[in-house]
A and B are shown apart, each in its own frame.
Chain A
């Protein structure tokens, strides 16, 4: 895979700001991002209540942080989950299609080199990683963003397997069958929630990144 375009710009030069006039996040990224916030919020919090009906592990989620009160017990959570799935899936397909077609994924997320990931992760943990140029992602960001997109694909496909384990039994078989697909679905959720913990913390620590996702620059 070619990486010339990504390498044309230095990864990060402190003090050089190319972002002030340039659009960092085009409109389609911002729209799909905030749509995804809504969809993910509903899917995760309703999903927790559905999990509680038949837990995979020895813990359940506190009902206060789940949604679905419009109906008794499990019903509301199921209705929310199977409504928001359309928003999540349609928005996700648009996002991934545009990410590939516009070349944004290739430009922003590739290449991912393990050595750079280790270097940037070390820098990040010691507080030395610069967020000066928001238009270029460091190696840790690339891994996290690529990883969460992959988790998004897995959560949708494992979800479809759980939803229709007979009609889409070939897909369910890819995840090891119905019961195994439930675990895959759970761990994909855990991955996304873990990502969100980091992502939201850093957005708060670097407020201009939040501004860029709202206003584009």
Chain B
């Protein structure tokens, strides 16, 4: 129901505006005022301090949610990311994280267990040995960072799609949520999880994934920006609820498809 508006008693707002308009004598003056108003609007929209920071932030986040939906529509589940020859691999491949390389988590491969949960039939945790026994594929694709730079890397692992089928995941669920050893997290949409190039990665450049690239497991998603490719993954949950992620909760666009 529409809220009742506050009206000054005895004043008809329509008549008030008409009276105000009468005070402007010359039509060109009115036109000029209209022009001046749009100039004023320009300064209002520039994000300077004139606009309340919270209001601007909320509006920006609303548009970012709209951009999520647009990107989901643009996403073509059959469109493959371009692949490159071995010679195109960026060496050394950069380390990325919100912490320096020496602070990267050290996961013990002996005791490592991948927790699988949510809307899946088989919630049995996986040891690294069991994961390594899965059929693997190699891809040489471009990692595109949200900052703008890009680097080409070689990743080997098992397609996430095959793994989700293997554990009896509900493929009609909306999201897959990943938890990482250092507390990082990420939620991706199911169509991207089922993309043929979305991979549970165990090797970089034909070698066991080194610590700096996410030992023991990274989720490689060549159709998303780099920060949507979680490393040191220890948990995977199939869900209908979007649990966001480390950067997404700090304002990065959630879908972040490329």
A54, B74: Cβ atoms under 8 Å?
Answer: no
A79, B63: Cβ atoms under 8 Å?
Answer: yes
Task: Write the nearest CB–CB distance from A171 to chain B, whole angstroms.
Answer: 12
> How many contacting A-B pairs (Cβ < 8 A)?
107
Report how many residues on chain A are interfacial, defined by Cβ distance under 8 Å: 38
Q: Mark B30-74, 1 if CB is under 8 A from A, else 0.
A: 011001101101100111000001001101110110010000001
Q: Which residues of B contact A75 (CB under 8 A)?
A: 250-252
A166, B147: Cβ atoms under 8 Å?
Answer: no
In the assembled complex, the Cα of A70 lies from the Cα of B49 at a distance in Å of 10
A41, B257: Cβ atoms under 8 Å?
Answer: no
In the assembled complex, the Cα of A67 lies from the Cα of B147 at a distance in Å of 16
B79 at the interface (CB under 8 A from A): yes
A72, B250: Cβ atoms under 8 Å?
Answer: yes
A167, B79: Cβ atoms under 8 Å?
Answer: yes
A111 at the interface (CB under 8 A from B): no
Given contacts A50-B148, A53-B148, A67-B47, contact A37 B42 (CB under 8 A): yes
Q: Which residues of A contact B45 (CB under 8 A)?
A: 38, 42
Given contacts A75-B252, A76-B60, A79-B64, contact A54 B147 (CB under 8 A): yes
A141 at the interface (CB under 8 A from B): no
Q: Which of A43-77 contact B (CB under 8 A)?
A: 45, 50-51, 53-54, 67-72, 74-76
Q: Which of B101-109, B138-146, B156-164, B238-246 contacts A (4 or more CB under 8 A)?
A: B138-146
A42, B64: Cβ atoms under 8 Å?
Answer: no
B25 at the interface (CB under 8 A from A): no
- Checking A41, A76, A164, A182 against B148 with a beta-carbon cut-off of 8 angstroms, the contacting residue is A182
- Checking A37, A163, A166, A215 against B31 with a beta-carbon cut-off of 8 angstroms, the contacting residue is A215
Task: Write the nearest CB–CB distance from B81 to chain A, whole angstroms.
Answer: 5
B47, A80: Cβ atoms under 8 Å?
Answer: yes
Q: Which residues of A contact B99 (CB under 8 A)?
A: none
A54, B145: Cβ atoms under 8 Å?
Answer: yes
Given contacts A38-B45, A41-B42, contact A167 B150 (CB under 8 A): no
Report how many residues on chain B are interfacial, defined by Cβ distance under 8 Å: 43
B252, A78: Cβ atoms under 8 Å?
Answer: yes
Q: Which residue of B lies closest to A35 (CB)?
A: B38
A34 at the interface (CB under 8 A from B): yes
A116 at the interface (CB under 8 A from B): no
Given contacts A51-B148, A78-B252, contact A41 B46 (CB under 8 A): yes
Residues of B within 8 A of A (CB): 28, 31-32, 35-36, 38-39, 41-42, 45-47, 53, 56-57, 59-61, 63-64, 67, 74-76, 79, 81-82, 142, 144-150, 222-223, 250-253, 257-258
Residues of A within 8 A of B (CB): 34, 37-38, 41-42, 45, 50-51, 53-54, 67-72, 74-76, 78-80, 82-83, 86, 162-167, 169, 178-179, 182, 214-216
Provide 12 A-B residue pairs closer than 8 Å at the C-beta atoms, listed in order of the A residue.
Answer: A50-B147, A51-B148, A67-B46, A75-B250, A79-B61, A83-B60, A166-B79, A167-B223, A214-B31, A214-B35, A214-B36, A216-B31
Known: A53-B148, A83-B63. 19 other contacts (CB 8 A): A37-B42, A45-B46, A53-B147, A54-B148, A69-B47, A69-B53, A72-B250, A76-B60, A78-B252, A79-B63, A82-B67, A166-B258, A167-B257, A178-B142, A179-B150, A182-B148, A214-B31, A214-B39, A215-B28
Nearest 7 A/B pairs, CB to CB: A214-B35, A54-B148, A53-B147, A75-B251, A79-B60, A83-B63, A54-B147
